[in-house]
Amino acid sequence: MTTGGSTELVRRPNASNRATLLELLFDVVFVAALALISTLIAERDSWAGVGPVVLMLMAIWWTWSITSTTTDFYDPDQRPIQAILMVTALGAVVTAAAVGSAAHALVFAIGYVTPHVVRGLVLVGVLHQHQRRHRHRHQAKGRAARFFFWFLVSGVCWIVGALLPGAPRWELWTIAVAIDYVSAAARYPTPWLGRVPLGQYEQTTAHLGERYQQFVILALGDIILAPTLKISTAEFTSARLAAFLVAFLTMLLLWQIYVLGSGAILRTLAARLLRRATRLAPYTHLMMLAGIVCTAAGFDLVIDRPTGETPARWVALIFGGPALFLVGRTVFTFRIVGVVPWHRVLGLLVLAGAAPWVGGWPPVLVTSLALLVLAAVVVGDVLGERSTRPALRGHPG
């Protein structure tokens, strides 16, 4: 492990693309937060309390996404980057502990804002010491400063929203999340510095694709984690066991949809495609993660009561989870290779068309229908893989 000084803070072109052990530990912390969010969604009796949970999901995901971008641009074996990872992991634990409780709004805000501020201070401070010797250090410092500036802006909204009477003030937190997502999409336009140069998005390595792949695979485990915990304390009826099997197969099919063919952070010489993939991945993967969380929440409910009628809210989770995953995956495919996977669109239409009619079905049967749709999508992916394979090379992400 490299533990040298800041002279090698920026990742070298020939550096290993494998994730470090600290990065993998970092992922586990965030996946635990996702599992908690899926449980909170399942426990809600109506949609009224889901909005704040979704807002927190967006914040937690953005912390992971930005940090993974950091470890792709900078060397994760360097001590300053390791310190950033440790502080961010601690922040994730704090935010996860505060999810779902309005009384802990300030704790959540501090847990979210602190890692971003620490990252900015460390990177700008360390890189400033060496910018005179190395031109690329000056470019790296400018990149870090842009990120730092916009997280300070959004951080004000997070903290103020947690301190005002009636906290949390969801309107301010919504503005804060919007600032984070929109500023990134606009390439962090910053006074006196301008935007992040497009060329820096072309410096993405296969490491970032690996990071997305590893995180999504870990997150998919949430689909079977919630039913496992639920069934371990319930009676083993045939309907409940059938629902458990459907949950397991659903997890496998979503994994197959993610890893097969397109939906990748590309290892390609086409700079335009690489820029597009790098900038698009956080947003499409947010949709996929939201789909995973909703799917897990749906199975949490179904394992508890697999028979009887299926409430409309349950149907929305059971069908909406896979649908969100398919939408995120399909948008990524289309934006990168320009191909519309029509079989996935057909699957979405089947789910949307069936939703109003399955309320009288047992929940286990509703989940089985969603499973059949996903199986058909996988078959379509296998049959259509040749059409996208030439354009997509490398790791899913």
Read off the pLDDT of residues 30-84 as tens digits, 9 standing for 90 and up: 988 888 899 889 988 777 778 888 999 999 999 999 999 998 888 888 899 999 9
Q: Are residues 48 and 182 in the same domain?
A: yes
Residue 6 has pLDDT above 80, yes or no: no
Tell me: pLDDT of 144 over 60: yes
Phi, psi at 253, each rounded to 5°: -70, -40
- List Cβ neighbours of 349 (8 Å cut-off, separation of 6 or more): none
In Å, what is the CA distance from 183 to each residue of 46, 174, 177, 275? 32, 14, 10, 16
Residue 190 sits in the same domain as residue 48: yes
Q: Locate tokens 């049967």: which residue? A: 365
Q: pLDDT at residue 348 above 90? A: yes
- Which pLDDT score, from 0 to 100, does residue 25 have? 86
Q: What is the mean pLDDT of residues 375-396?
A: 67
Of the residues 196, 222, 237, the one at which a domain ends: 196
Instruction: Compute the average pLDDT of residues 298-314.
Output: 94
Question: In a 3-state reduction of DSSP, which class is residue 133?
Answer: coil
pLDDT digits 0-9 by tens, 173-189? 999 999 999 999 999 99
Q: pLDDT at position 132, please?
A: 54
Is the same domain home to 54 and 185?
Answer: yes
Give the position of tokens 């058909």.
376
| pLDDT confidence band for 8 (50 / 70 / 90) | low
Q: How many domains does the chain have?
A: 2
Does the residue 15 lie in any domain?
no
- Residues of the domain holding 343: 206-391
For residues 22 and 157, the model is more confident at 157
2 pLDDT higher than 70: no
What are 120-126's contacts with CB under 8 Å, separation 24+? 120/144, 120/145, 120/147, 120/148, 120/151, 120/152, 121/148, 122/80, 122/83, 122/84, 123/9, 123/70, 123/74, 123/80, 123/84, 123/147, 123/148, 124/148, 126/6, 126/9, 126/80
pLDDT of 232 reads 81
Same domain flag for 86 and 111: yes
Let me know whether 86 and 216 are in one domain.
Answer: no
% pLDDT > 70, the chain: 88
Are residue 30 and residue 174 in the same domain, yes or no?
yes
Asked, for residue 4, whether it belongs to a domain, the answer is no
Average pLDDT score over the chain: 86
Let me know if residue 38 belongs to a domain: yes
Question: Does residue 2 sit within a domain?
Answer: no
Mean pLDDT computed over 340-346: 90
Angle of the 135-163 helix axis to the 50-73 helix axis, nearest 10: 160
20: three-class secondary structure by DSSP: coil
Does one domain contain both 164 and 187? yes
The verdict on residue 1 lying in a domain is: no
**Does residue 224 share a domain with residue 184?**
no
> Of 169, 196, 223, which marks where a domain is finished?
196
Domain membership of residue 226 (yes or no) is: yes
> Where are any strands of DSSP class E within 85-141?
none
Query: What is the band of 271 on the pLDDT scale with cuts at 50, 70, 90?
Result: low
pTM, whole model, 2 decimals? 0.90
- Asked if 180 and 263 sit in the same domain, the reply is no
| pLDDT tens digits, one per residue of 101-118 | 777 899 999 999 999 999
| pLDDT single digits (tens) 214-241 | 899 999 999 998 888 888 887 888 999 9
Question: Pick from 176, 196, 216: which residue ends a domain?
Answer: 196
Residue 155 lies in a domain: yes
Evaluate whether residue 396 is within a structural domain: no
Check whether residue 29 and residue 57 sit in a common domain. yes
Residue 80 burial (CB count, 10 A): 18
Residues 260 and 116 in one domain: no
Co-location of 56 and 145 in the same domain: yes
C-beta pairs of 187-194 under 8 Å, 24+ apart in sequence: 188/146, 188/147, 188/149, 188/150, 189/146, 190/145, 190/146, 190/149, 190/150, 191/149, 193/142, 193/145, 193/146, 193/149
